[in-house]
Structure 1
Amino acid sequence: MANSSPLTNWLTNYIEDADSDLGSLQVSLEGKPVRIILKSILEVRDKDNYTAVRLAVLRDHPEVLGLLLGGMRGEADKLLFEMVEGVTALYRAAQQGYTACINILIASVSPQRRLQLVLERDGGGWTAVTWAAVYGKTESVKALLHPFLPEQRHDILKTQSNILRTAIHNAACCGHTETLESLVDCLPANKLVTLLSMKDAIKHTPLELAESMKHHSAAELLRRKERAATQETILESYKQIDALKEENHQQAKALEEAHHKIIEVHEQSRQWAEVLMNRQDNMQKMLDQLQIYLRRAEPTDVDGDQEIEDYL
């Protein structure tokens, strides 16, 4: 049996009453340990297994949702990832186009898990972005993708359902042209070209799906966006090639200069070697001449011996 409390029952009634005064909830929390009371509210469920957070989302009461989650950031992750009736609270907000609730739900998850929340898939492999795409909720798509970097948006939009369809596939299949444009415009050209070439389980690209369902405006949008993205990707490739050529040219120029420097140093070394060899030759010649001079300067006893022989 699901738990309930007077506080939760009161809050449920408050949420269901669109004319309630938010100040009454704020006053009820004054002077009390807010974090403790909020945590108790978050954990209690009604007879349908709904928490106060889910009820606030279903009734589109972002002011209540913000009050409930505002002091619980990082501590409500388990609740926000919880599947009830096969979906998270974020799915419901995306499906209904409750953008203010979407912003609060994403901001209330610990930063390192925000992308994971948006990437969470239901039993059919749909993400919150897929739900928004199917129901044509353009503002939901923008709210779900805006907090993330282009690379992370690519990770979200390349996620495929159980029949291998992306959010772009589903928006194209349903003919939601405005939503489709929001999806394709949030990606850089090279990433978009890749996504538009992805095929579902029946081997259809998003463009082929739009054409088969006779959604002419969606098909025309995809053709136009694909042409522009392809051209931009090609131009960017040429720029990268030119940049590589310039880089290679600079490297070749540096190598040539280094080569000339090596030749110059080698030539200087050769000249110094010649100088040293010439000096060595000169020194050898000087030594030879010195030896000759010394031999000539040595005293000989030949004349003295002859004189002795003559005397005898």
Structure 2
Amino acid sequence: MEQWIREYIRASGAPDITSLRAALTTTPPDQLLQLITTIRGSKSYTALLLAISRDHPVVAHLLLTPLRGIADELLFVKVEGGHTALHRAVLKGDRELVELILHTVSSGKKYELIAVKDGGGYTALTEAAVRGNTEIVETLLISLSVEQRVSLLNIQDIFLNTALHSATYMGHTAALQTMLTSIPPDKVSALLSIKNRDSRTPLEYAESMGRKETVELLKSWKQPVLAAHAVTYQKFAALHQADKLKSKALTNQGEELAESKQQIGALQKENNRKTAALANQREELIKLKEELVESKQQISDLQEADNRKTAELASQREESQQQVVALQEANNQMTAALANQREESQQQVVALQEANNQMTADMAAMMERLNRLDIYLRTPTDTDETGDQLHEPQG
């Protein structure tokens, strides 16, 4: 907000209203008041006085609205010519802004603000009377009590002219009529008797200027007060009462606005807390994401390692299967060889058995021959106990 005010004072163009609204929403009223009051441009212009002087009424409204009841110091700041923000608003003919200023200043300072004189002794009412701005004249007067109106209309500038003299000089009859009807009938005569530096009353001033319409109006006030004036005065009193009610309503709105700002502040704090929590969560999520990426990489590495191991196992399995096949083939070959060997062994056994049998037979034959040989060797007469011949002679 401070940066915005400094840039606005240095620049000449209108600001970004959206950005200004956002800045004002987050700036406490007391801090805003201090910034506007202390940061000045050339000729002691504040941001408020610049906004009014540069015809930026929206900016002025945005700056003043949050400051209701606390902006007295700011509103009494004077610039060149002794003008306050109220003088400048009257010069611009901005009735709404005049009304806003009157509802922003504290009630005890309202008359004092309207009665501030510039370098020429002009009050805000005098400025409005000179310009014949009847609406602003009415706005200024209905904001004051009867006593304050009378006092204000008695104020004289450096030429001892009152606001009545100024309106008479310019021939602004409607503004003159509004000022006269704002006070009780018994106070009119005294006001119309005030003389300026030339020792002229408002009526004499009008006559010297040749303001026929104004002369006729002022002469009518010299006559016995008409009942119509009493009715008009009551109407003005009703306007004053309505203005008081409006001021009270605006004060209530200001309090509601302050409360809303407090709520907004609390919501912003809560939002900041949540934002911080979300930031922490975001950081945690980022860490988790990094850990997830790292885990994915680890999983990928594990998968690659697993794939390598699977490939190695598959290769080993294939080699094992080949070895099994080779072993099976070798076993089959060995089984076949053993079968052949067994068959050969069986054949050998059979052959051996046959040979054994043959040998047995041969041995039997040999034994038989031996026996025969033995018999042969014996004498032919040898007999056994039976008397049989033991051996037959070999033939």
TM-score category, normalised to shorter length: 0.5 to 0.7
Q: How many residues align?
A: 228
Structure having the higher helix fraction is 2
Q: 1:15 to 1:22 in 2, by over 3 A?
A: farther
> Residue 250 of structure 1 aligns with which residue?
none
Q: Are 1:61 and 1:101, in contact at CA under 8 Å, matched by a contact in 2?
A: no
Shift of 1:63: 3.4
Q: Letter of the aligned partner of 2:217 in structure 1?
A: L
Q: Distance in 2 between matches of 1:63 and 1:15?
A: 15
Q: Are 1:57 and 1:65, in contact at CA under 8 Å, matched by a contact in 2?
A: yes
> Residue 73 of structure 1 aligns with which residue?
68
TM-score (norm 2): 0.53
Q: Distance in 1 between matches of 2:106 and 2:27?
A: 25
Identity of aligned residues (%): 38
Q: Secondary structure at the match of 2:44?
A: coil
Q: Letter of the aligned partner of 1:120 in structure 2?
A: V
Q: Are 2:33 and 2:71, in contact at CA under 8 Å, matched by a contact in 1?
A: no
Residue deviations 1:165-201 (CA, integer Å, cap 9, x gap): 1100111012111221221121121111211121112
1:155 to 142, 145, 151: 151
Q: Secondary structure at the match of 2:67?
A: coil
Q: Distance in 1 between matches of 2:123 and 2:112?
A: 10
TM-score (norm 1): 0.65
Matches within 5 A, 1:229-244: 229=225
> Residue 119 of structure 2 aligns with which residue?
123
Larger radius of gyration: 2
Residue deviations 1:235-292 (CA, integer Å, cap 9, x gap): 9xxxxxxxxxxxxxxxxxxxxxxxxxxxxxxxxxxxxxxxxxxxxxxxxxxxxxxxxx
Q: 1:32 to 1:154 in 2, by over 3 A?
A: closer
> Residue 220 of structure 1 aligns with which residue?
216
Instruction: For structure 2, list consecutive stretches of 5 or more residues without a partner in the other structure.
Output: 231-395
Residue deviations 1:151-173 (CA, integer Å, cap 9, x gap): 21111111112222110011101
Q: Are 1:62 and 1:104, in contact at CA under 8 Å, matched by a contact in 2?
A: no
1:7 to 4, 8, 22: 4
Q: Are 2:10 and 2:41, in contact at CA under 8 Å, matched by a contact in 1?
A: no
Q: 1:51 to 1:181 in 2, by over 3 A?
A: same
> Residue 23 of structure 1 aligns with which residue?
18
Residue deviations 1:205-243 (CA, integer Å, cap 9, x gap): 1011011001111111111233253x66xx9xxxxxxxx
Shift of 1:71: 2.4
Shift of 1:16: 4.1
Matches within 5 A, 1:49-88: 49-85=44-80, 86-88=82-84
Shift of 1:89: 1.5
Which range moved further: 24-33 or 112-121? Answer: 24-33
Q: Are 1:45 and 1:51, in contact at CA under 8 Å, matched by a contact in 2?
A: yes
1:177 aligns with 2:168: no
Q: 1:31 to 1:173 in 2, by over 3 A?
A: closer
Q: Are 2:128 and 2:134, in contact at CA under 8 Å, matched by a contact in 1?
A: yes
Q: Letter of the aligned partner of 1:79 in structure 2?
A: L
Shift of 1:34: 4.8
> Residue 99 of structure 2 aligns with which residue?
103
Residue deviations 1:93-119 (CA, integer Å, cap 9, x gap): 122311111111122112111111111
Q: Secondary structure at the match of 1:113?
A: helix
> Residue 136 of structure 1 aligns with which residue?
132
Q: Distance in 2 between matches of 1:144 and 1:211?
A: 28
> Residue 195 of structure 2 aligns with which residue?
199
Q: 1:185 to 1:14 in 2, by over 3 A?
A: farther
Q: Distance in 2 between matches of 1:89 and 1:31?
A: 25
Instruction: For structure 1, list consecutive stretches of 5 or more residues without a partner in the other structure.
Output: 236-312
For the aligned residues, what is the CA RMSD?
2.7
> Residue 279 of structure 1 aligns with which residue?
none
Q: Letter of the aligned partner of 2:5 in structure 1?
A: T
Q: Distance in 1 between matches of 2:202 and 2:162?
A: 9
> Residue 275 of structure 1 aligns with which residue?
none
Q: Distance in 2 between matches of 1:16 and 1:223?
A: 50
